[in-house]
Amino acid sequence: MKKDLLSFTDWSAKDLSALLQLAITIKNNPADYRQALAGKSIVALFEKPSLRTRVSFDIGINKLGGHLVYLDSQSNKLAGREDVKDMGNNLACWADAIVARVFAHSTLEELASAAKVPVINALCDMYHPCQAMADYLTLTERFGDLNKVKLAYIGDGNNVTHSLMIVGVTLGCEVVVITPPGYEVDPAIVTLAQQKAEQNGGKLVISHDVEAANGAHALYTDTWISMGDDTPLDTIKQAFGKYKIDEAMMQSTGAQYVMHCQPAHRDLEISGTLIDSEQSILMQQAENRMHAQNAILVHLIGGAA
Ligand code: CP
Ligand code: NVA
């Protein structure tokens, strides 16, 4: 039976760890994987803009001997010209997998139920699983054992936050989520992540207080205005002012590293000088997008063409 990657909410710690290990193996032994996707074609459908996801999938697939077809749907919702169901069914006639960046998670579910090939979430309103996998690969490279890592996310409670929570606590991390009042994460994701933390030795802390980040090994932020959000910048600045990650916050929390999924907005959610500092591991995260996604692809569709 085909397997999709829509959220990681249904993945065990064992399976997530194995995927992380596969990403490390592929990253360290690229020659062994040059033909891993030989003869395989992947369609990428994007309803929203992208730099990192689009390019890292395309180049990553090329490095594994596969082929990517990019469909730009940015100016048209997938359902604009024909039903998502029919689109998924058609694409599965030719493609071995579908990578999709969409507005609504339900669009991914529709695609996945229609297409007889795996569907991979390249970001939706609720999750960004490929990003989270790359981020925990980065933290593994920096710290080794994730069970000893405290990651503090500070900023808007969004798709990236949800995936960091789910994947992090499943892998045994302590994940602290600090948002301004009114910008919290989805309560259903909190409940799920709390259950996963209890099952897997992770820990989840939800707060409005920046001091909850004290003792974190790494601070993480994301844009304060996600794609499709039209809240005026002035409103956002008022709500988020004290949640900006800068050198002073790094010092007061004692954090070693700063992370951001990017695109970053210099001197808004993160100080520009911090992005350029030795404490920044943003580019390692960006590089690891490719290795994490390659592991996902090899896991889902690798093998004989
Ligand atoms: N982090 C991330 O997904 O970047 P893009 O939006 O550029 O793909
Ligand atoms: N939360 C951001 C992530 C961008 C990679 C967004 O959805 O726009």
Its ipTM equals 0.99
pTM: 0.97
Marked catalytic residue, from 52, 54, 101, 260: 101
Catalytic (active site) residue 222: yes
Fold identical between 13-127+289-301 and 129-285?
yes
At the topology level, CATH places domain 13-127+289-301 in: Rossmann fold (3.40.50)
Helix (H) or strand (E) holding 72: strand 67-72
Task: Read off the pLDDT of residues 29-69 as tens digits, 9 standing for 90 and up.
Answer: 999 999 999 999 999 999 999 999 999 999 999 999 999 99
For the chain, the average pLDDT equals 96
Closest ligand, as measured to the CA of 185: 2
Question: Atom 6, ligand 2: which residue's CA is nearest?
Answer: 226
State whether the beta carbon of 261 lies less than 6 angstroms from ligand 1.
yes
CA 128/CA 158 separation, integer angstroms: 9
Confidence at residue 77, expressed as pLDDT on a 0 to 100 scale: 61
Task: Read off the pLDDT of residues 209-258 as tens digits, 9 standing for 90 and up.
Answer: 999 999 999 999 999 999 989 999 999 999 999 999 999 999 999 999 99
Domain extent listing, the chain: 13-127+289-301, 129-285
CA 36/CA 50 separation, integer angstroms: 25
From the number of C-beta atoms within 10 Å of its C-beta (0-12, 13-18, 19+), residue 283 rates as: exposed
> For the residues 190-196, what does the mean pLDDT come to?
98
At the topology level, CATH places domain 129-285 in: Rossmann fold (3.40.50)
> For the residues 11-27, what does the mean pLDDT come to?
98
DSSP label at residue 296: H
Catalytic (active site) residue 162: no
Residues 6+ apart with CB under 8 A from 35: 64, 65
Q: How far is CA 130 from CA 114, 228, 238, 278, in A?
A: 22, 20, 31, 25
Residues 6+ apart with CB under 8 A from 276: none
Which atom of ligand 2 lies nearest, measured to the CA of 123?
7
